[in-house]
Every structure is written in structure tokens, then in C-alpha cells.
A and B are shown apart, each in its own frame.
Chain A
């Protein structure tokens, strides 16, 4: 494989590119989804191709081809050369607009490999056993409560990626990712409510095998999911007003994701996403001085956590995975960066430039961006709360184009009065602005209740890229937050 990929690098040099890399990615995805007791879809997708990225005269060009896209033949030396020529042509079209040439931050070439090997390879298991697992969950949900719809899904993904650059890097990475979710929907008069587990939008993912699904224990959680969906139909509307909120782990993971993870992407800070989802309020002068959160808030970006959904060995610039402070004792310290953006502010990349597949360029993406654990237990936090709502599992999320004003909704909430859980409430929502919110954080549960939540589909860029990221979180409390937004 390497010899054919090197053809791209040779061609790029011959055409005068100052830098080039090629990524060949081959992957397989298995998706099983069940709905109301039967298989809704059962599919396997295989995908392979390569992308050539060149820096010519200080401007980028990128061309990508599936390795047998049109002609029905395997990738040839001629194809790779033509694709490289196309990438150079595109870079030449780009350069007419540039004001100063792109300068990549320095990197020693790497020859290496990395793999995330599952304990129980889901691709080696019988498909019918995985189907039966989901159908068992559905049966348990139906048995536990009179829900109107049950569903489940499992997704397994494996990928091999080869990266070569004109600077001499040569890296192979392999990984297996597993995840899924179950859910139930109950319908009443003028009301429909749903519960799902373990997380929103496809579930919780990790760079692990079937052991991740076993750890999540869908079977054990299924009856509760159905019962809570039905109970929500009778629950009162979440109250409105300023009060304390306690967020469980998966909702807190999304809060970190939207209000910290995206805000610290250096390309966003430098305006490179301004035409699409927007920029960031964490502008350059805030680095090292800005009080992002209260002193209990410590946020770390860590691409090295074994099994973490945002872990890897090397990013798609070829920079080794790293761990560093983002927010330390409430003060903002570091961005996520790439060689291009780090070069622009006179720093060295901290290895966060990733592409979702061979047909996309790398962009700055979150790794595992984690809120470090505190000293409390969830029970202690609840006992210490006079009036508030404990909120679980995301239902909606929205944030402005500077990652400042946000609003979230969750599937379920429990009202807390004088340190006791008073009862369930439906349709909880809360809103605020990022620094005020994180400065109101005063209690975080300990490492015993901390885990890395895996989001499989963080979106960014044009053309869109939905990539895997992770967020370590334990339940945490935020004081005096505006709850119950809108008319219900």
C-alpha cells in the first residue's frame, strides 16, 4: 500500500508543492436497528478511498477519490497521480486570494502505528445474537410499561488509516468503535414523551468492542426506560424561574461539548468557521487570563485515554495525541490546534486536526474534552440543594454563533426541595451564557461517578463532517440558572 501512496507524494513534489500528505482509509460499519419488536434495518457498509492534500505556494488544495469510484477497477498509480494533479490545480485556484502563505508549525516526522483493540470484537460475533440482544431489550420495555413504541440500535465501526507525508511521516492506525441505545415512547392525550438510554442521538460510544455494550447493560436498564416514559405523561411541567440545576453525566457531556469544546477550537477562534456555524467568544487575548469558570472547574483535553471515543494515536497532521489543560481552576489556558492554526499564532500544534474519512480534509476537532471530577457524591449534592432540578439526558441543544448564549432541554427532570427529591417533571429546559454558567458551578461528583461519554457524530465544516469525540463528566451542580424556558 505504502508504495502506491508514495506516488502521490512524489507527484506533488514534482509539481512544486511545498507540502503534501495522503490518507488512505478503509472502513466497515455494521448497523442494526429494531423498532416495535422487529428489525427495522440491518446493514453493513464498506468504504475505502484516499485523499491528497497539498500546500502549493502557501495555499491548500485537496482532492479525494474512492479507490474504485467510477471505472470499477482498483486504485492505480495513474489514478493517484491524476488525483494529486487535481489537488495541485485546486491549490492554484485557492492561491489567487491568499494574503500570506500558510506556514505549518514544525513537526518531526513520525514513523509509527497505533491501534485500539477490542476485548470482544463485535465483527466476530454472530449478527443474530446482536439482533436478539436488542429484541430482548424491547420485550423488557414492553413488559415493564404500556409504551407505544420501543426501539434500539447498535453500531459497530472499524477503520484502518494510513497517513504519509512529504516530510517523511508514515503512520498506520486501526480502531474498533462500538455503541448504541434503546428507547421508548409513550403517548397520552395531547402529549408524547420518550426516554432513552444511555445517551442522546444514537447512544454512547467508545473505542471498545462488545464489552462496551455489556458495560452499558441495556437489558438491566430497559424496564426503567419504559416506566419513566409512561410516568412522564403524568408528570407536571417543569417549573420556570431561577434555581439550581444538577446535570447528570451525559447532559453535562453535551454542555461541555457545546460551550467549551467548540469554543476552544482555534480555527473557529481565528474566524475560519465564520461563514457557517460561527466563531468563538474565547478570543486570543483571553488565553491564560480569562475566568471561564469557578475555581472548581478544571477541563482537560486528553486524546490518550484508552477506549475514549475521542482517542487516537496521531491526528491527521501526523501529530502525536496529547493531554493538556484547557481550563485550570477556572482560568482558560489552551485551545485545540492544528499545525496550520498553531503556526498562525506562533505556537506548536497540540494534535487536534482530524478528518472523518478519506474524502474530507482535517479540521480542528475535539478529542476527549473532560470536566475533571470533584469530591462529592451525587447524593451529597442533592442533599445540599434547597431548590432545584436534577436533569437527565439531552433532548435539545442550541447555542449562538459565538458559543455564548445557550439553551438545552432534557428528557426528564426531578424537582428537589430541601435536599430531597420531590417528584418527576417533564420538558425541563435551561438557558444561560457560557462564562456565567461555568462560574456558577460549585459542586462536581467524584471519580466514582465519572466516565467518558462518547458522542459519535459531532458536526462541523463544509462539506459536513460528523466525527467521534468524547467527554469525561460526573454529575455537577450549577447555581441560580434560568429554568423552564418558553410557553408550555
Chain B
């Protein structure tokens, strides 16, 4: 009999000392004008289940060393996962060679200098110590809940440890270690399905029974679906759907790079009201309600950046390249390319309401559990398309009255958020490597353009 803790491996991380030692070794080897080194190490495991059995179960230990060399304004970048001395030396030398071959990038100013790195609790021993048996136990709990209802279960349960060390020739030195745990769950009957998920840096916060219960509850109601004519409806979006929408919005234009290139939907709109005054959006790499991490891939500290305040577009997300290009002193800690990492959509406390109040305000509308296969149709108009999935319901007078066949929507996110009628008080964390914390939303108008067969 294999004991559960036989699976634990303590050798899956470099640790602070060894990581920063490697960074120093690389910087010492480099003859470039400026050099940036990034060392990542990770151990990630994922247990996947379908048809109520574990059918895929995998584990990876890997590392990557990336070296960016600058000769004046010329840059070369080389990375490898071979970390023997010879490979490291070759990587450093090749980065310099590439930089020398590259034409100048006149927009490059400099790598960033050192700044103090704040504290953030992002590593939990409980997650790092999780074994395949721990993941299997959680999955078996989900399967047991599904079995009780006579349903099938499918999904994935992942755990992982990530560490990153960043250094550059201007004195940046940063090291951090984080953990992540996620459980997703689709419960299926012959008639319909239900979804739930949980994410946390601490696996102790993943309550498999609760996740399963939430998905089973949706699946129980999701039967005898009726077809509804596509068109414009009021919607109650569960946090899963809201999170997807806000992460798309972020990718369409909160990055300073896309703004500078004229591709952002925010071009010409900073300082103006773009959505309902009920809506606030920020990125806060330090907020523990999300999945925090204290610095970005350039070793620059993260902080709270208000993106939308009471409906007004306020700020953009910068990496050092974009910040220096505009003459700013420092980035907002969003390398690469102004990418958000810990997004929040929320209403001010006085503007937010309970889930029940939110629902009771829907006279006739559609409840969407989550979206599926969402894609951008027109970035500047923030138009996206996708399907509803795993629980779409008709609401009348604040009550779910019927399950609906899944619907296709084609809608501008800004238009949808302009019609916000209510924002939920309770928030849910979705994802850990790119996390969004979102409440439920009630929108006055949402455009459905097609229908699935199920």
C-alpha cells in the first residue's frame, strides 16, 4: 500500500538562495550593456476526470532561464530549460550575439531600476504538499455527489508551485514563490448540465463537496429546456460569466501598449464615462481576495491600479517599456505588455446588493451561469460572441421559471455594462495564474443572436 505522503517531493523548487545565485551567475557572465535575467521553476499537477472516472493524471517539473541582452538599443533574447553550466553560458553568449545582430529599437529607453517589493501571501505549504491522492480524494468527493443524484461528473483538479527570480544589471533583484489550486466541475444528466469551480492559492480553501453541490444544484434545475427567440433581454450574469467578460474587456484595451498603438477601445475615452457609474474595475496584484503576487516579470512591484471608477475610464496598465516611452518614471508592474493579473470588478458598498435583491429586480430576463468559447469580434467596439453553457434559465418576476436551451450572444461589452442595473455584493475568485474577482451582475440589455440545440 502506498502511503499518501510518499508522493511529496521537496526538490521541486530552487529556493530563494539558489535562484538568486543563478541570477547573479548569469549577470556576471553577461557582457551586454544591460541584461535582464528571469528564472522560473514550477511543479504542476493536474487530475482530470470525465464520465465520473479519473482518465488523465499528470505531473510536470520544469524550469526556464530567460536572458535578455541589450547593446545600446538593440535587444536579443534567449531562453532554455537546460540549466547545466555550459547551457547557461551558451544562453548568455547567444543573447548578446542576437542583440548585436538586431537593428536598434529607437523606442527602447532602459531596463527598470530596483524598487522595493511589497509583501504578499501567495505561498501555502498545504498546496505545495498536495499529492495525487489528495487531488483524487477531492475528485472522488465530486463524483460521489454526482452519483447520489444519478449524474455524471467531469472536470479537472490542479495544484502547483511556481517560483520566479528576476534580476537585472541595474540592480533589480526579486524572488517569489506561489502556489495555486483549482477545481472545476461540470455535472451532467441526460437532460442538462451544471457548473461550478473553486480557485485559491491555498488548497485548504477548495471545498470539493461545496463545488459539487453547487454544480449538482444547477444540473437538477437544468431540465426540460425550452427554446426562446434570440433577441435583446435583461440578464442576470453569474460571477463566472462576469469574470469572462471583464477579462476580455481588459485584453481589449487596458494595456498602455495597445493604447499607444491606437488599438485600444479606450483611445480617446480616458477620463470619460464608458460604462454605468455602478461599475468599478481595478487590477490589484496585492489584494488577498484574488490570487496575489507582489511583482511582475521585470521585478517591478505591483500595486492597485484603478482602471474604471464609477463608470469613468481612469488609468492604463504599464510595463517599463511602455512607461518609459511616455516619459513616466516607472511602470505599474504589468509586464509583459500591460497585462492584468488580478482583476476586480465591483460596486461601492453602498451601491452593491445581495444576490437575492439582484435577482428580484429581473421582471423578465435570462440567467446565465457561464459563457463558452468567447471570442472578440471587434476590439475597438468591444464586441464579443460566445455561447451560454451549463445552466441558462428564464427568469420572470425575480424567479427562475424554466431552463432554456443554450443561446449565442453577440454584444459590445461596453454597451452591456452601460445597462448595468445592479451589482452583487458577494464576489468570487476565478482562476489563479490570471485571476478575476467578480460579483453577479444584472444588466438591462444583452443581445442574444442565435441558439444551440441543447
Contacts and interface: CB of A to CB of B under 8 A. Distances in A.
Contact of A70 (B12, B46, B102, B450): B12
Interface stretch (A35-43, A158-166, A375-383, A470-478): A35-43
A3 interface: no
B182 to A, nearest CB: 10
Contacts of B450: 405, 407, 431, 485
A305 B152 CA distance: 40
Nearest to B410: A486
B399 interface: no
A90 B447 CA distance: 46
A402 to B, nearest CB: 6
A402 B452 contact: yes
B410 A485 contact: yes
Contacts of A463: 44, 46, 58, 60, 158
A99 B49 CA distance: 12
Given A70-B14, A98-B53, A192-B263, A275 B154 contact: yes
A96 interface: yes
Nearest to A407: B385
B83 A271 contact: no
Nearest to A281: B453
Contact of B57 (A93, A149, A396): A93
Contacts of A488: 378, 381
Contact of A272 (B50, B188, B381): B50
B135 to A, nearest CB: 7
A441 to B, nearest CB: 20
B41 interface: yes
A396 B136 CA distance: 37
Nearest to A67: B82
A90 B56 contact: no
B356 interface: no
Interface string A173-209: 0000000000001010011100000000000000000
Interface string A446-478: 000000000000000111000000000000000
Interface string B48-63: 1111111111111111
A356 interface: no
A437 to B, nearest CB: 13
Contacts of B385: 396, 398, 407, 409, 429, 485-486
Interface stretch (B72-80, B114-122, B293-301): B72-80
A68 B377 contact: no
A96 to B, nearest CB: 6
Contact of A49 (B62, B262, B380): B62
A152 to B, nearest CB: 13
Interface in B405-454: 406, 408, 410-412, 415, 447, 449-454
A92 interface: yes
Nearest to A276: B156
Contact of A191 (B53, B56, B94, B380): B380
A404 B387 CA distance: 11
B186 A274 contact: yes
A402 B49 CA distance: 18
Contacts of B59: 62-64, 86-87, 90
B374 interface: yes
B446 to A, nearest CB: 11
Nearest to B78: A44
B143 interface: yes
A69 B374 contact: no
A45 interface: yes
B41 A70 contact: yes
A273 B57 contact: no
B373 A66 contact: no
B350 interface: no
A97 B82 contact: no
Contacts of B451: 405
User: Which size class do A's interface residues fall under?
Assistant: 35 or more
A69 B386 CA distance: 39
A336 interface: no
Given A131-B102, A402-B453, A487-B447, A47 B135 contact: no
A97 B140 contact: yes
A400 B52 contact: no
A325 B297 CA distance: 48
Interface string A77-121: 000000000110111111011110000000000000000000000
A377 to B, nearest CB: 31
A128 B101 contact: yes
B81 interface: yes
Interface string B175-187: 0000000001110
B452 A400 contact: yes
A275 B389 CA distance: 12
Q: Give the one of A45, A71, A486 with max B CB within 10 A.
A: A486
Given A46-B80, A97-B136, A401 B372 contact: yes
A360 B79 contact: no
Given A98-B53, A149-B263, A405-B452, A89 B7 contact: yes
Interface in A289-333: none
A68 B140 contact: no
A93 B132 contact: yes
B383 interface: yes
A462 B46 contact: yes
Contacts of B380: 190-192
B351 interface: no
A407 B77 CA distance: 38
Interface string A228-261: 0000000000000000000000000000000000
A433 interface: yes
Contact of B77 (A41, A187, A486): A41
A79 B376 CA distance: 45
A144 interface: no
A405 B407 CA distance: 9
Interface in B59-111: 59-63, 74-85, 87, 94, 98, 101-107
Nearest to A73: B84
Contacts of A74: 84
B330 to A, nearest CB: 22
A123 interface: no
Contacts of B51: 270-272, 274
Contacts of B7: 86, 89-90, 93
A185 B57 contact: no
Contacts of A277: 372-373
B324 interface: no
A5 interface: no
Contacts of B152: 271, 274
Given A70-B13, A97-B54, A486-B385, A48 B136 contact: no
B6 interface: yes
B131 interface: yes
A62 B46 CA distance: 10
A354 interface: no
A93 B131 contact: yes
B259 interface: no
A275 B101 contact: no
A134 B170 CA distance: 32
Contact of B377 (A272, A359, A429): A429
Contacts of A89: 2, 6-7, 132
Interface in A380-433: 395-402, 404-405, 407, 409, 427, 429, 431, 433
Contacts of A409: 377-378, 385
A127 interface: yes
23 contacts: A42-B76, A45-B78, A46-B80, A46-B87, A62-B59, A64-B62, A67-B82, A72-B83, A90-B58, A93-B7, A93-B136, A148-B262, A275-B49, A277-B373, A396-B385, A400-B452, A404-B453, A405-B406, A462-B56, A462-B156, A463-B58, A486-B447, A488-B378
Given A86-B9, A89-B7, A192-B380, 10 more contacts: A46-B79, A46-B80, A59-B54, A64-B61, A66-B61, A91-B57, A273-B50, A275-B186, A361-B58, A463-B46
- Smallest CB-CB A-B distances: 3 pairs: A275-B154, A486-B410, A93-B132
